[in-house]
């Protein structure tokens, strides 16, 4: 009796550069690794190196040349590419470009509700051709991508794997209900230049400090404001001194150590403020009150996602922020993250269908 040859081991290559994209595909990698006769290799650039650390990726500090990508794809016999989309990097797109020339299927995971066409800015093929299979968070994002020109047939609505993981973790560790005698506030900043704004980074913080001062006057509880700067942000060296010069009575301000994981900081604070950051959604998964500060118009799908997560979108006005804190905070905080349940398995299913097709 002749024995059947063993199935060939298939290879999936996962590539990410920024932290957001790396976090989005990390849970997918865990699902893929459970499949027999399948190996998953990883290349991590930039902030993705920290997110992928436990997976022992091949780290890189620079984007790869085409010849180096070609050599890697050929030498490792890659059958499918799984990638994220990053700002200030062409690492993922470089691999997508070369994979397309070899007929290697490509799955792309979108991690946030913005700038879809821009995520393919380094592509050597047309966005409108829909060369990649794209996994998105919800129906609204799929429709927005279609409006920008991406074929709907190439888009899968899977949920966001990182947020699924956050809600699973948050449901296992509900927030403490003990009454506190002070209010700990975390403000997640972002590079204003990335938003196309040229304002002094201190100006928004002044307005938020004024609002927190009025909140203190109402509650009589001291407020600690911790400012956590975005990894891409390059703040002026005298930032904290300038802020402390106008901090109102009852409010203490400090800068956070942004080299430490954000999860621990989110757990320690009662209120999370930010602009358009994943940290607000992560805070909600922990049952925290989160507020988005509006600096410009946001895509409708992002507003819808914030509403579904229980994140109010407030104008950058001290009166409006203070009024919310004094009269509206705490309402509708319960959220199970149902929109993202099963997201990692759904993205993995897309990969399996392509690699076995």
Burial class (CB in 10 A: 0-12, 13-18, 19+), 36: exposed
Q: Tokens representing 127?
A: 């966005």
Claim to verify: residue 201 and residue 104 sit in the same structural domain: no
Strand order in the sheet with 106-109: 58-60, 38-45, 10-16, 80-83, 106-109, 133-136, 155-157
Can you tell me the mean pLDDT for 228-249? 84
| Domain range for 146 | 10-159+342-355
Claim to verify: residue 330 and residue 183 sit in the same structural domain: yes
Claim to verify: residue 155 and residue 184 sit in the same structural domain: no
How far apart (Å, rounded) are the C-alpha atoms in residues 320 and 254?
A: 24
Q: Report if residue 4 sits inside a domain.
A: no
Q: Given a cut of 60, is residue 170 above it in pLDDT?
A: yes
Q: Given a cut of 60, is residue 1 above it in pLDDT?
A: no
pLDDT of residue 163: 96
Q: Given a cut of 70, is residue 83 above it in pLDDT?
A: yes
pLDDT of residue 36: 86
Claim to verify: residue 147 and residue 38 sit in the same structural domain: yes
pLDDT of residue 357: 64
Kindly state the greatest CA–CA separation across the chain: 86
Can you tell me the mean pLDDT for 172-183? 64
Which residues are CB-contacts of 124 (< 8 A; sequence separation ≥ 6)?
A: 97, 100
Q: Report if residue 187 sits inside a domain.
A: yes
Claim to verify: residue 133 and residue 202 sit in the same structural domain: no
Whole-Å CA distances, 132 to 77, 82, 229, 266: 19, 10, 33, 35
Confidence bin at 229 (pLDDT 50/70/90): confident
N-terminal to C-terminal alpha carbon distance within the chain: 29
Q: Tokens representing 197?
A: 């704004």
Whole-Å CA distances, 222 to 83, 252, 253: 45, 8, 11
Claim to verify: residue 146 and residue 235 sit in the same structural domain: no
pLDDT of residue 284: 94
How far apart (Å, rounded) are the C-alpha atoms in residues 142 and 156?
A: 8
Place of tokens 């080299």: 259
Between 193 and 230, where is the model more confident? Answer: 230
Claim to verify: residue 114 and residue 148 sit in the same structural domain: yes
Q: Report if residue 167 sits inside a domain.
A: no
Claim to verify: residue 227 and residue 140 sit in the same structural domain: no
Handedness of CA 155, 156, 161, 167 (dihedral sign): positive
CB–CB of 270/180 below 8 Å? Answer: yes
Confidence bin at 173 (pLDDT 50/70/90): low
Confidence bin at 37 (pLDDT 50/70/90): confident
Can you tell me the mean pLDDT for 192-211? 78
pLDDT of residue 345: 98
Claim to verify: residue 346 and residue 328 sit in the same structural domain: no
Phi and psi at 59, nearest 5°, equal -90, 150
Half-sphere exposure of 345 (CA within 13 A, CB side): 3
Among candidates 161, 163, 156, 170, which has minimal Cα distance to 31? 161
Q: Report if residue 168 sits inside a domain.
A: no
| pTM higher than 0.85 | yes
User: Would you list the DSSP string of 285-342?
Assistant: HTT-EEEEEESS---HHHHHHHHHHT--EEES-HHHHHHHHHHTTTTT-----GGGTT
Q: What percent of the chain has pLDDT over 90?
A: 75
Q: Report if residue 2 sits inside a domain.
A: no
Claim to verify: residue 227 and residue 313 sit in the same structural domain: yes
Claim to verify: residue 152 and residue 21 sit in the same structural domain: yes
Q: Given a cut of 70, is residue 296 above it in pLDDT?
A: yes
Q: Given a cut of 60, is residue 174 above it in pLDDT?
A: no
CATH number at residue 49: 3.40.50.2000
Whole-Å CA distances, 68 to 19, 61, 78, 86: 23, 14, 14, 20
Q: Tokens representing 108?
A: 């792309």
Q: Tokens representing 221?
A: 């509880």
Q: Report if residue 171 sits inside a domain.
A: no
Identity of the highest mean pLDDT range in 46-50, 124-128, 243-247: 124-128
CB–CB of 14/25 below 8 Å? Answer: yes
Claim to verify: residue 274 and residue 346 sit in the same structural domain: no
Q: What percent of the chain has pLDDT over 70?
A: 91
Q: Report if residue 44 sits inside a domain.
A: yes
- How many folded domains does the chain comprise? 2
Can you tell me the mean pLDDT for 89-103? 97
pLDDT of residue 6: 65
Confidence bin at 194 (pLDDT 50/70/90): low
Q: Report if residue 23 sits inside a domain.
A: yes
pLDDT of residue 81: 98
Model pLDDT for residues 300-339, shown as the tens digit of each residue: 999 999 999 999 999 999 999 999 999 888 766 666 678 8
């Amino acid at each position: 009796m002749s024995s059947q040859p063993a199935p060939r081991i298939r290879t999936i290559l996962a590539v990410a550069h920024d932290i957001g994209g790396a976090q989005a595909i990390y849970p997918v990698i865990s699902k893929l690794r459970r499949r027999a006769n399948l190996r998953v290799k990883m290349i991590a650039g930039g902030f993705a190196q920290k997110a992928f650390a436990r997976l022992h990726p091949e780290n890189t500090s620079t984007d790869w040349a085409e010849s180096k990508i070609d050599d890697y794809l050929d030498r490792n016999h890659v059958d499918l590419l799984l990638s994220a989309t990053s700002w200030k990097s062409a690492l993922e797109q470089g691999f997508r470009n070369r994979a397309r020339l070899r007929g290697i299927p490509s799955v792309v995971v979108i991690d946030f509700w913005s700038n879809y066409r821009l995520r393919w800015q380094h592509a050597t093929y047309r966005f409108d051709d829909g060369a990649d299979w794209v996994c998105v968070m919800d129906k609204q994002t799929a429709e927005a991508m279609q409006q920008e020109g991406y074929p709907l047939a190439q888009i899968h609505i899977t949920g966001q794997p990182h947020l699924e993981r956050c809600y699973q973790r948050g449901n296992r560790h509900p927030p403490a209900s003990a009454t506190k005698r002070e209010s700990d506030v975390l403000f997640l900043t972002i590079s204003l230049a990335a938003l196309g704004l040229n304002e002094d980074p201190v100006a928004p913080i002044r307005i938020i400090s004024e609002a927190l001062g009025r909140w203190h006057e109402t509650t009589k509880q001291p407020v600690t404001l911790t400012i956590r700067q975005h990894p891409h942000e390059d703040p002026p060296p005298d930032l904290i001194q300038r802020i402390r010069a106008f901090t109102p009575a009852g409010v203490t301000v400090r800068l956070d150590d942004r080299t430490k994981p954000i999860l621990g900081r989110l757990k320690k604070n009662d209120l999370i403020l930010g602009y358009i950051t994943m940290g607000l959604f992560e805070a909600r998964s922990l049952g925290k009150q989160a507020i988005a500060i509006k600096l410009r118009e946001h895509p409708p799908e992002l507003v819808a996602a914030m509403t579904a997560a229980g994140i109010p979108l407030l104008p950058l006005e001290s009166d409006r922020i203070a009024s919310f804190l004094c009269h509206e905070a705490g309402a509708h905080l319960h959220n199970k993250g149902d929109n993202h349940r099963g997201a990692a398995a759904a993205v993995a299913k897309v990969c399996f269908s392509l690699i076995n097709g």
